């Protein structure tokens, strides 16, 4: 008995049949029967797939292509055998979703084959279920779109990875902020006043020297004038020293304030002291604090006030 091949249904081309030879009644009846055949064919494909799948499991222990030899002896082609098995597995996987099974059974054979293939991407399967693609041509076009999208995503991901692998360039920039003392304006005014006094004394000194040159050195007026010149020179020197001392003092004040606000800030505002606890550094810090306290104490003794006065560089308590 000859083997019956189900491939006959796949290779028959009903579209090439000349329906013009038929009467209207014959044509309608023929089309109706074709529809029944198609529905029956689609319906039994999963059942055939189930039989083929079970037979595949029975012969799974044979590695010599026994299963292939068996289905070829029944007239099946390899691609169609696995098409049947794929459709059976699809129905089996979705057996608890009647709506999906109903949609699957009403699909064309081409769509059933595509959606049941293990290699079909979930996006393609979803598009088929939703009716977004209905022909083989539309499926292939949609696959190309997905491939282009995946390639674009892969390219962007590679660019991101390349950027992340690059070590960031660290640019160090030192910002120097000049600390302006709170009494800056007062100190500035004092300096300006001293500068004016010095300028006035220098002007007087210049005039006196001119007068001195006009007089005889051995005259009484010249001697008196010479004494005045020396007094003015001493006053000029004193004021000049005060100006220099004020400038130097301002610089020292800025350095001291900067030192305590920046260098020593970590000791006051950061938990550095806790980290130095019970170490030699803690003892050193205590010695430094004692030295600073001694310096402050000594400075308080020499700072002029209303009860002290300075005579020739010495401080005398009042």
Model confidence pLDDT, tens digit, residues 124-171: 999 998 989 888 899 999 999 988 988 888 888 888 777 767 655 655
* Token pair of 58 as six digits: 């029975």
**Looking at the chain, how many residues does it have?**
318
What is the pLDDT at residue 171? Answer: 59
Integer Cα distance of 141 and 314 in angstroms: 103
For 224, residues 6+ apart whose C-beta sits below 8 A from its C-beta are none
Which region holds residue 312: left if phi is over 0, alpha if psi is between -120 and 50, else beta?
Answer: left
Tell me what the mean pLDDT of segment 185-194 comes to.
78
The answer to whether residues 127 and 102 touch, using CB atoms and an 8 Å cutoff, is: no
Integer Cα distance of 51 and 31 in angstroms: 30
pLDDT digit string, tens, across residues 235-278: 888 888 888 888 887 888 788 877 777 767 666 655 666 666 66
Q: Is the pTM of this model over 0.75?
A: no
Helix (H) or strand (E) holding 165: helix 136-165
137, 56, 53, 138: which is closest to 93 by C-alpha? 53
> What sign results for the dihedral spanned by CA atoms 31, 36, 39, 40?
negative
What is the pLDDT at residue 190? Answer: 79
pLDDT digit string, tens, across residues 81-101: 999 999 999 999 998 999 998
Report percent pLDDT > 70 for the chain: 75
> Which residue ranges make up each domain of the chain?
7-118, 181-263, 270-310
Enumerate the β-bridge partners of residue 308: 317
Integer Cα distance of 252 and 243 in angstroms: 14
At 5, the pLDDT band (50, 70, 90 cuts) reads very low
What is the pLDDT at residue 81? Answer: 93
What is the pLDDT at residue 79? Answer: 93
Q: Mutual orientation of helices 78-93 and 24-58 as an angle, nearest 10°?
A: 90
What is the pLDDT at residue 179? Answer: 55
């Amino acid at each position: 008995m000859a083997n019956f091949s189900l491939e006959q249904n796949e290779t028959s081309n009903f579209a090439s049949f000349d329906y013009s030879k038929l009467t209207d009644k014959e044509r309608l009846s023929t089309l109706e029967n074709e529809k029944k055949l198609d529905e029956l064919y689609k319906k039994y494909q999963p059942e055939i797939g189930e039989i083929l799948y079970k037979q595949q499991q029975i012969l799974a222990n044979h590695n010599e292509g026994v299963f292939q030899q068996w289905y070829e002896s029944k007239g099946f082609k390899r691609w169609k055998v696995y098409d049947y098995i794929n459709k059976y597995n699809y129905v089996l996987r979705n057996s608890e979703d009647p709506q999906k099974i109903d949609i699957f059974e009403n699909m064309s054979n081409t769509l059933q084959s595509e959606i049941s293939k293990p290699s079909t991407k979930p996006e393609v399967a979803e598009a088929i279920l939703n009716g977004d693609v209905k022909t083989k041509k539309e499926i292939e076009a949609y696959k190309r779109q997905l491939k282009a999208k995946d390639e674009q995503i892969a390219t962007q991901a590679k660019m991101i990875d390349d950027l992340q692998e690059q070590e960031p360039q660290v640019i160090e920039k030192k910002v120097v902020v000049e600390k302006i003392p709170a009494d800056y304006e007062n100190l500035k005014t004092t300096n300006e006043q001293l500068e004016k006094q010095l300028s006035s004394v220098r002007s007087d000194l210049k005039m006196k020297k001119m007068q001195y040159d006009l007089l005889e050195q051995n005259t009484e007026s010249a001697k008196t004038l010479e004494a005045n010149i020396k007094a003015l020179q001493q006053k000029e020197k004193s004021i000049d020293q005060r100006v220099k001392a004020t400038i130097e003092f301002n610089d020292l004040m800025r350095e001291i304030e900067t030192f305590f606000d920046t260098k020593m800030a970590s000791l006051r505002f950061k938990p550095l002291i806790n980290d130095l606890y019970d170490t030699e550094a803690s003892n050193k810090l205590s010695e430094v604090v004692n030295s600073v306290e001694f310096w402050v104490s000594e400075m308080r003794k020499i700072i002029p006030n209303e009860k002290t006065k300075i005579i020739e560089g010495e401080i005398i308590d009042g």
